[in-house]
Amino acid sequence: MTAKFHSIFLAMLCVLTLPLHAAKSPNFIIILADDLGYGDLGCYGHPTIKTPNLDRMAAEGMRFTDFYVAACVCTPSRAALMTGRLPIRSGMAGSHQHHVLMANSTGGLPENEITIAQALKTKGYATACIGKWHLGHEPQYLPTHRGFDYFYGLRYSNDMEPTAKIPRDASGREVQDPEWWNPTLLQNDKILEQPTDLSTLTERYTKEAVKFIEQNKKGPFFLYFPHTFPHVPLFANKKFQGKSLRGVYGDVVEEIDWSVGQILEALKKNHLTENTFVFFTSDNGPWLVKNQTGGSAGPLRDGKGSTWEGGMREPGIAWWPGKIKPGTVNHNIACSMDLFPTLCGWAGASIPTDRIMDGVDMSGLLFDTGPDLRQTMIYYYGSDFFAFRQGDYKAHFVTHTGYGKDPAVPHDPPLLFNLEKDPGERFNVAAEHPDIIANIRKEVEKYQANLVPGKPEY
Amino acid sequence: MTAKFHSIFLAMLCVLTLPLHAAKSPNFIIILADDLGYGDLGCYGHPTIKTPNLDRMAAEGMRFTDFYVAACVCTPSRAALMTGRLPIRSGMAGSHQHHVLMANSTGGLPENEITIAQALKTKGYATACIGKWHLGHEPQYLPTHRGFDYFYGLRYSNDMEPTAKIPRDASGREVQDPEWWNPTLLQNDKILEQPTDLSTLTERYTKEAVKFIEQNKKGPFFLYFPHTFPHVPLFANKKFQGKSLRGVYGDVVEEIDWSVGQILEALKKNHLTENTFVFFTSDNGPWLVKNQTGGSAGPLRDGKGSTWEGGMREPGIAWWPGKIKPGTVNHNIACSMDLFPTLCGWAGASIPTDRIMDGVDMSGLLFDTGPDLRQTMIYYYGSDFFAFRQGDYKAHFVTHTGYGKDPAVPHDPPLLFNLEKDPGERFNVAAEHPDIIANIRKEVEKYQANLVPGKPEY
């Protein structure tokens, strides 16, 4: 290739690969459910929960089968989503005592961490966090101090401000009754309501989200919409109470599905569909020990609080009419941490170079224009490394049942599963593949050699 | 209402409810997979098996979430599908020794039982059975003696004619190698090939099926297309070998999906879509003990050989453009036995009145024109009654793990599960609902009072 032809080729490549830089900056919406399982949506095979809006979103967009979050519980998963970095690096991974920030914790996402919202603010984005935060509730940690122009929601989980004594039913489960919960609703830094009427919360979040979209329709905007539900205790609006075949859990998920429909409808009404990327996922797997008020991981093993697939693999639905090919099912590995570099890349915002970023740009997967830059996934339980996936294979060096009372079990050699052939992690094939285990060990060593854990925040 | 008005009203009702009688008799195609699990298709949530044709069939038609077969193993399930009657009535339920007809069995579906094909022949239907029969292999039991004009396929399962000694792999599983199997392919009553090349079987079945459709496009026709796979041993055509992310099991299912696409394509090409009803399901749940060569029941419990939901609840997809509303998900209880009265009703063929029929007409569900006539489901393990579903609740009076070595366990009071709220049968709610159990006991007594078991055929 001559030098001249080479530069023309390169210039063409830039035009082909960066079509968005010349266009208007796109808007971004991340909708995050709380404790929703891999198997809890119609389009992921749930037999009785009806999710027509999310199913349509998948039919009009891309549905991931191997989408991961970076932790099996709330706080570290959200820290990773917000920063594009493993929570162990920011001190947000959790300790043996506490896996998430508690109501009496004083820590939060360190101020030297950069959130997606902060990165996008440098490019003039209007930003809002509507929903549950859970990355620190001291004033300096609240969303309005971490890059968001607007916050409307709960500081942490809806079960973290109980009244003096929560009654339990015959099976020992906390009663899902508003009387026994005392959550605080904030608007920006101010308390708006306490106790918060949880049964109207999804509806109120949705109204706030639609209002934010309409107020910022000239764009660009970033809406982070982390729902409070289906984390227990469960409350649905009157219109949804008792309507689902799946009981109160289904009522709540079907209301979230309605909410997603409202968001997409607002984008259509305001002619924003061609310039807005929407992504739906959850923070971690289903809280199985909560009996019928916990969700389902479908064919995957275990749930919240475990590094089995059910704990960290989630529904992942991407939507952007005209950009993402409708009805695509994507089987590549992708992760919530990848949203940071992807969105910043599209917005032309800088990606921090002074720290290790664990997220990779997933544009290639979304637009079917490039390779899968992520071939691996790392699984932590709190601050402890437990498992590693490379391609089709996952090696468990330690396992622990989600919220089980039994101690963690180390494995040497590690348990090995082929996740493509055996998504339910039923058949340990370690004995047949010592070469794959050796390879994974090398990858883990390489990763650990660069690891500097952050000072634990809780 | 005056007498005159009454007759006009009745006449109108006939026109409204029987629109098909005036029209050309519709064609029917039943496609049956073998040992396919509830969770093994893309549209039922499998993470890695790609089934674009079946997914499209569901998107263009109706997908059932609560579709049952009448037995958890092959022979009785097929007997029920063919006759619209519980296999216990025809002597086809199986014994403690054998749950299916073996290669050395001499029995078969009794000659006084009426098959769908026989019923439709009275209305001039062309009929073919292409695939695995497994309802008797003595001459008088073969498909051509049971109402089918044409038969092309295997007499029973593909693992029933092994060579002298089948080697096993490190995990004790039979090797999936054509060398060790010796199946016989029949055309009508004649042996066409032995040993049969199993790797081209799905393709050859499909060609035969398409040929039958084209030869009978003037209609009416009934094509019964029971695939040999994904029953082990597993063999896919070269075009599909090693192509699936799910290994050989996925290869085989993806070839069946291709086959479904060919059938629907043949209907389109021959302008038959508006006059042809197609139904896809499987004979029983996944053969879980077969390790990675067995399928997945997704969120359901257990598989083939058990009366847990995974053994008897199956994918069920109905397709009839212009008649069935596209993209419908149906959560009502339906059963393979319902196909007999439904198809006969549409064809204007008589439904036997000299015997108890267990199937009910499902037109109301398919066309959204009537109530769910089936509110119950009965579960047998061989000739033994094990469980009963009434509405949302299922009571297990006896349980047995599919292909497990442990003895069956009786339960008094029975285990009770709410299948809508708890599809995985995890939470026994018997203690909370003695009234529901009492009701189910009454229903079971009522049913058993009318039961005359047929003379066991094997």
B375 is written with which tokens? 């509110």
Q: Pick the closest to residue A226 from A15, A440, A32, A451 (CA basis).
A: A32
Residue A14 designated active-site? no
Location of structure tokens 């020794």: B97
For residues B35 and B58, what is the distance between their CA atoms, to the nearest angstrom?
20
Q: Which of A45, A421, A426 comes nearest B299 by C-beta?
A: A45
pLDDT reading at A408 higher than 50: yes
The single residue of B134, B227, B231, B396 carrying the catalytic annotation is B134
Contact list in A for residue B431 (CB cut-off 8 A) is 170
Nearest chain A residue to B392 by CA: give it. Answer: A245
Residue B402 DSSP one-character state: T
Kindly determine whether residue B292 and residue A427, on different chains, have CB atoms separated by under 8 Å: yes
Q: What is the mean pLDDT of residues B308-318?
A: 98
Q: Each residue of B151-188: pLDDT tens digit? A: 999 999 999 988 877 888 777 777 888 888 899 999 99
Whether A428 contacts chain B with CB within 8 A: no
For residues A380 and A76, what is the distance between their CA atoms, to the nearest angstrom?
10
Residue A68: CA count within 13 A, CB half-sphere: 28
Whether B242 contacts chain A with CB within 8 A: no
Kindly determine whether residue B170 and residue A65, on different chains, have CB atoms separated by under 8 Å: no
pLDDT reading at B12 higher than 60: no
Residue type, B48: T
For the domain made up of A24-376, the CATH class stated in words is alpha beta
Query: A257-288 burial by CB neighbour count: b if 16+ within 10 A, else e?
Result: bbbbbbbbebbeebebbebbbbbbbbbbbbbb
- Domain B377-449 fold is Arylsulfatase, C-terminal domain (3.30.1120)
Q: How far is CA B234 from CA A195, B74, B261, B282, B293, in A?
A: 60, 17, 21, 16, 7
Q: Each residue of A329-365: pLDDT tens digit? A: 999 999 999 999 999 999 999 999 999 999 999 999 9
Whether A370 contacts chain B with CB within 8 A: no
Location of structure tokens 């330690």: A398
Q: Pick the closest to residue A315 from A368, A361, A279 (CA basis).
A: A279
Contact list in B for residue A423 (CB cut-off 8 A) is 46-48, 296
pLDDT reading at B19 higher than 50: no
The single residue of A46, A72, A74, A137 carrying the catalytic annotation is A74
* Residue % of chain A over a pLDDT of 70: 95
The reported pLDDT for the residue numbered B141 is 98
Residue B134 designated active-site? yes
Q: Pick the closest to residue B372 from B67, B145, B155 (CA basis).
A: B67
The reported pLDDT for the residue numbered B23 is 64
Kindly determine whether residue A39 and residue B46, on different chains, have CB atoms separated by under 8 Å: no
Q: What is the mean pLDDT of residues B252-277?
A: 98
Nearest chain A residue to B298 by CA: give it. Answer: A299
**CB-based burial of residue B446 (10 Å sphere; 0-12 exposed, 13-18 middle, 19+ buried)?**
exposed
Whether B292 contacts chain A with CB within 8 A: yes
The reported pLDDT for the residue numbered B6 is 47
pLDDT reading at B82 higher than 90: yes
DSSP B140-158: GGSGGGTT-SEEEEESS-T
What integer best gives the mean pLDDT of chain B?
93
Count CB atoms within 10 A of the CB of residue B118: 18
Q: Which of B48, B65, B291 comes nearest A420 by C-beta?
A: B48
Residue A163: CA count within 13 A, CB half-sphere: 15
Contact list in B for residue A250 (CB cut-off 8 A) is 421
Domain extent listing, chain B? 24-160+177-375, 377-449
B146 near B127, Cβ under 8 Å? no
Q: Which of B171, B299, B420 comes nearest A296 by C-beta?
A: B299
Q: What is the mean pLDDT of residues A127-143?
A: 98
A184 is written with which tokens? 């605080």
Q: Each residue of A45-102: pLDDT tens digit? A: 999 999 999 999 999 999 999 999 999 999 999 999 999 999 999 999 998 888 999 9
The reported pLDDT for the residue numbered A5 is 42
Q: Pick the closest to residue B226 from B312, B332, B336, B310 (CA basis).
A: B336
What integer best gives the mean pLDDT of chain A?
93
A396 near A378, Cβ under 8 Å? no
Q: Each residue of B409-450: pLDDT tens digit? A: 999 999 999 999 999 999 999 999 999 999 999 999 999 998
A355 near A450, Cβ under 8 Å? no
Classify domain B24-160+177-375 by CATH number: 3.40.720.10
pLDDT reading at A19 higher than 90: no
The reported pLDDT for the residue numbered A6 is 47
The single residue of A99, A134, A231, A396 carrying the catalytic annotation is A134
Kindly determine whether residue B250 and residue A421, on different chains, have CB atoms separated by under 8 Å: yes
Q: Which of A39, A43, A170 comes nearest B299 by C-beta?
A: A39
For residues A238 and A202, what is the distance between their CA atoms, to the nearest angstrom?
11
The single residue of B74, B129, B335, B344 carrying the catalytic annotation is B74
Q: What is the mean pLDDT of residues A395-399?
A: 98
Q: Pick the closest to residue B413 from B392, B393, B397 (CA basis).
A: B397
User: B266 vs B9, which has greater pLDDT?
Assistant: B266
How far is the alpha carbon of A429 from chain B, nearest alpha carbon, in Å? 10
pTM for the whole structure: 0.93
User: A13 vs A412, which has greater pLDDT?
Assistant: A412
Q: Pick from A40, A421, A426, A427 the residue to mutate for testing the B interface (most B CBs within 10 Å).
A: A421
Whether A143 contacts chain B with CB within 8 A: no
The reported pLDDT for the residue numbered A23 is 64
